[in-house]
Chains A and B, each alone.
Chain A
Amino acid sequence: MITFKLALRNLMGAGLRTWLNILVLSLSYVVIIFLHGLLDGWNQQAKTDMISWETGQGQLWQKNYDPFDPIRLQESYSPVPQELSSLVREGKLSPVLVTLATFYPEGRIQSILLKGIGTEQQVLELPTSALAGLSEEIPAIIGKRMAETNKVQAGDLITIRWRDSEGADLAAELRIMKIFSCNVPTVDAGQVWIPLDRLQSMMKVPGEATLLVSGQEELPDLTGGEWVYKDKKFLLADIDQVIKTKSVGTSVMYVVLLLLAMLAIFDTQVLSIFRRQKEIGTQIALGMTRWQVVGLFTVEGAMHAVLAALLAAVYGIPLLMFGAKVGIPMPQGTDTMGLAISDKIFPVYGAGLVLLTVIIVLITSTVVSFIPSRKIARMNPTEAIKGKIQ
C-alpha cells in the first residue's frame, strides 16, 4: 500500500512529464478500442448484410448446384418440392433460378449470372418489387457496381443472350428498372436479377429453381432428395474466413499501437532511473531495500497505465459511445476498390474487448517498467547517493 502511495506521490510530483505519458497512453487505449470496435462493427455489418441480401437464414440447393462450377448450372434446377410450396406462398422461402447469360451493354459484352427471383419475396432485401409490372420487356434490377462497371443507368434497354434447357440460344432485351446499392458484392457484380416466372419461361423450366433461400432456420427434412440443405454456418464460411484473416491484421495493428505506448513508458523509466540515481540512493539510505525501490519504480510505471485508463474513460467513453451511435462515415468509393463496406460503420464495443485491452496494457506496462528498474538492484547505493552515473 505504501509503495502505491509513494508511486502515486512521485507521479503526481513529476507533473507535466507524467501527464504527457498518461495522455499518450490513454490515446493508445482509445485508439486500440476504437479500431477493434470499428472492425468488429464492420465484420458484424458484413455478416448481417450477407444474411439480408444473399444467404437468408439458410438455403436449399439443388443437388447439382455448385456456385463455383458455372458449367453445371444447366443441370442445376429442379421443381420446388410440394412440401415446401406453403412456405413459398407464405413468403418464408424464396426460390431462385440461376443461369449463365451474356449481357451486351452498348455493344460491349459481359458474361453474367442471370437470376430469377419472386417479385413479392420478402426473404432478401433485394428491391424485387421493382420487377413487377412490365409485360412486354423483361424487367431487371442490377447493383451499383454492375451498373458502374457497364455504364448502365436505370431505364436503359440492354440485350441479353442465354441458352434454354433444351440448348437453344435465345436473345431478348431487358429494361433496367432499378439500380440498387448493396454491400454484398456477390449479389451485385456480374449479376442481373429478373422475375422468376420470366426466367423459368425463358429457360423452359416452369416451376423449377436452382436454390431456395429461407427466411427461417428450421426447414422440413429433405435429405436424400433433389435438394440439399445448407445452413448459415456453411453459407457464411467464406466471410468468416475473411474475418479471421482480417483479425490477424487487426492483431498486428493492436501490437504496433501497444508497442508505441510501451515505448513511451520504457523511455520514461530508463530516463527516470538515469536521472533519479541520487533519489534511489537516498531511498535506500532511508531504509528501503533495493528490491523495494525496484518495486516502487515498477509500480510507478504501471500506474501510468492505471491513470491512463481512468483518463481514457473520461473522454473515451463518451467519444466511443457517440461514434457507435451515429456511425463512422466511410469514404465514398471504397466499394469500388472491392471492399464490401457501407457508407457508415457502426463500431461495436464489447466489455471483453475493453477489459482485455486494459488488462493487456496494464500487464505489459508493468513488465516494461520492471525491465529497466531491475538495474536499481545492481546499483551501488554509496555511488547512487552522490548521483554518480552507474
Chain B
Amino acid sequence: MESTQSVITIRNLVKSFPMGNREFVALNGINMQVAHGEFSGLVGPSGSGKTTLLNLVGTLDLPTEGEVLVLDQSVGHLSQKKAARLRSQEIGFIFQTFNLLPVYSAFENVEFPLLIQKMGAEKRKKAVVDALEWVGLTDKARSKPAQLSGGECQRVAIARAIVKKPEIILADEPTANLDAENSHHILKTMLSINREMGTTFLFATHDEKVIGYLGRIIKLVDGRIASDEKVQLN
C-alpha cells in the first residue's frame, strides 16, 4: 500500500519550551518525510521528543521554527478552526491511556468523531458498526469503558481512530498499558488496517513489541534523528 506520495513533510523543525529562565529544546533540526501508507515509528527513550513530534504532526502544537506539512498544509499557519478540521477529517489518534470518554458507551465513543463531522445518522451508524467489527467488539458496543478490559479499551480507541477513515493515524505508546497478548492483538489489527485501508501509521514508542511490527524505524535521541531505516516485514 505504501506509495511515494508524502503525507507528512518536516523541514528544519525546532521545538522548544520555556523551562524556568531558559528554553528547553525538545526537537532540534528534524527533517523527514512520511509516505502515504507507511507503517512507521518514532523510537527512542523517554524525553527524546517522540510525543512532541507526534503532537506537532497532529496539529495539537505549533513548531518554534521550521515547517511541518501534513497533507500539504503547514501546521504552523493553520487557524484553530482549520487545524481542528484537519484533525477531524484526516488524523486519527490512539493514546497510551486510551482516552475514551468515560460516560459514553463503546458505540458512542466510536461515533463521537463522526458527530463532530456532522455525518448523517444512518451513515454514521453503519460506519460505527463497521469499525467495531474491524476490531472485533460488536458484542461490547453498549459497554462503558469502565466495563471493558485494557485491551478492549484500546480496540475501541482504534475503532474510534479508523471510523472516519483518516489518512493518518498517530499512535502514542499504544501498547504501554497492555499485556503482551493484547499488545500483539492490537498491533496485528493496526497492521491489517494499514494494509487493507492504506492508512498511514506513525507510532511513538520504545516498546520492542511495537518495533517488531514497524516498516520504518526513525530513532530519536535528544530531539534529533539518530537513524532512519526501513525494515522488511514478513
Q: Which residues of chain B from 100 to 116 have any CB-CB distance to chain A below 8 Å in the complex?
A: 101-104, 108, 112-113, 115-116
> How many whole Å from B95's CB to the nearest CB in chain A?
7
Asked if A290 CB lies within 8 Å of chain B CBs, one says yes
Contact B108 A9, beta carbon cutoff 8 Å: yes
Asked if B130 CB lies within 8 Å of chain A CBs, one says no
Chain A contact residues: over half helix, strand or loop, or mixed?
helix
Q: Which residues of chain A from 292 to 308 have any CB-CB distance to chain B below 8 Å in the complex?
A: 292
Stretch at the interface among A53-61, A128-136, A278-286: A278-286
Contact B103 A9, beta carbon cutoff 8 Å: yes
Pick from A14, A15, A281, A290: contact of B99, CB below 8 A: A281
Q: Which residues of chain B from 67 to 123 have any CB-CB distance to chain A below 8 Å in the complex?
A: 80-81, 84-85, 87-89, 93, 95, 97, 99, 101-104, 108, 112-113, 115-118
Give Cα A54 to B119, complex, Å.
71
Chain A residue with the shortest CB-CB distance to B93: A285
Pick from A10, A289, A387: contact of B84, CB below 8 A: A289
Q: Which residues of A sit under 8 angstroms from B85, Cβ to Cβ?
A: 287
Contact A285 B60, beta carbon cutoff 8 Å: yes
Asked if B61 CB lies within 8 Å of chain A CBs, one says yes
> How many whole Å from B123's CB to the nearest CB in chain A?
15
> How many whole Å from B13's CB to the nearest CB in chain A?
16
Chain B residue with the shortest CB-CB distance to A387: B97
Asked if A2 CB lies within 8 Å of chain B CBs, one says yes
Q: Which residues of chain A from 1 to 41 have any CB-CB distance to chain B below 8 Å in the complex?
A: 2, 5-6, 9-10, 12-15
Q: Mark A322-338, 1 if CB is under 8 A from B, else 0.
A: 00000000000000000
> How many whole Å from B16's CB to the nearest CB in chain A?
14
Chain B residue with the shortest CB-CB distance to A2: B115
> How many whole Å from A382's CB to the nearest CB in chain B?
5
Contact B101 A287, beta carbon cutoff 8 Å: no
Give Cα A281 to B113, complex, Å.
14
Contact A284 B116, beta carbon cutoff 8 Å: no
Q: Which residues of B sit under 8 angstroms from A289, Cβ to Cβ?
A: 80-81, 84
Q: Which residues of A sit under 8 angstroms from B116, Cβ to Cβ?
A: 2, 286-288
Give Cα A241 to B28, complex, Å.
77
* Contact A13:B104 (CB < 8 A) given known A382-B55, A385-B99: yes
Asked if A381 CB lies within 8 Å of chain B CBs, one says yes
Asked if B174 CB lies within 8 Å of chain A CBs, one says no
Number of B interface residues at 8 Å Cβ cutoff, please give it: 28
Q: Which residues of B sit under 8 angstroms from A288, Cβ to Cβ?
A: 84, 88, 116
Q: Which residues of chain A from 364 to 390 have any CB-CB distance to chain B below 8 Å in the complex?
A: 381-382, 385-387
Pick from A5, A282, A386: contact of B115, CB below 8 A: A5
* Contact A381:B60 (CB < 8 A) given known A13-B104, A286-B87, A288-B84: yes
Q: Which residues of A sit under 8 angstroms from B102, Cβ to Cβ?
A: 13, 279
Asked if B37 CB lies within 8 Å of chain A CBs, one says no
Asked if B49 CB lies within 8 Å of chain A CBs, one says no
Asked if B223 CB lies within 8 Å of chain A CBs, one says no
Give Cα A2 to B111, complex, Å.
12
Q: Which residues of A sit under 8 angstroms from B99, Cβ to Cβ?
A: 278-279, 281-282, 285, 385
Give Cα A44 to B97, complex, Å.
63
Asked if B58 CB lies within 8 Å of chain A CBs, one says yes
Q: Which residues of B sit under 8 angstroms from A286, Cβ to Cβ?
A: 87-88, 93, 112-113, 116, 160
Contact A10 B81, beta carbon cutoff 8 Å: no
Q: Which residues of A sit under 8 angstroms from B101, Cβ to Cβ?
A: 279, 282-283
Q: Which residues of chain B from 42 to 65 have any CB-CB distance to chain A below 8 Å in the complex?
A: 51, 55, 58, 60-61
Chain B residue with the shortest CB-CB distance to A380: B61
Q: Which residues of A sit under 8 angstroms from B108, Cβ to Cβ?
A: 9
Q: Which residues of B sit under 8 angstroms from A284, Cβ to Cβ?
A: 60, 84, 87
> How many whole Å from A36's CB to the nearest CB in chain B?
36
Q: Which residues of chain B from 163 to 207 have any CB-CB distance to chain A below 8 Å in the complex?
A: none
Pick from B84, B95, B97, B103: contact of A287, CB below 8 A: B84
Give Cα A374 to B118, complex, Å.
24
* Contact A9:B104 (CB < 8 A) given known A2-B115, A285-B58, A382-B60: yes
* Contact A385:B84 (CB < 8 A) given known A10-B103, A14-B103, A285-B93: no
Give Cα A9 to B108, complex, Å.
9
Going nearest first, the 3 A-B pairs with the smallest beta carbon separation are A287-B88, A13-B103, A282-B99
* Residues of B participating in the A interface, judged by any CB pair closer than 8 Å: 51, 55, 58, 60-61, 80-81, 84-85, 87-89, 93, 95, 97, 99, 101-104, 108, 112-113, 115-118, 160
**Interchain residue pairs with CB less than 8 A apart (11):** A6-B115, A12-B103, A281-B99, A282-B101, A284-B60, A287-B87, A287-B88, A287-B117, A291-B80, A381-B60, A382-B55
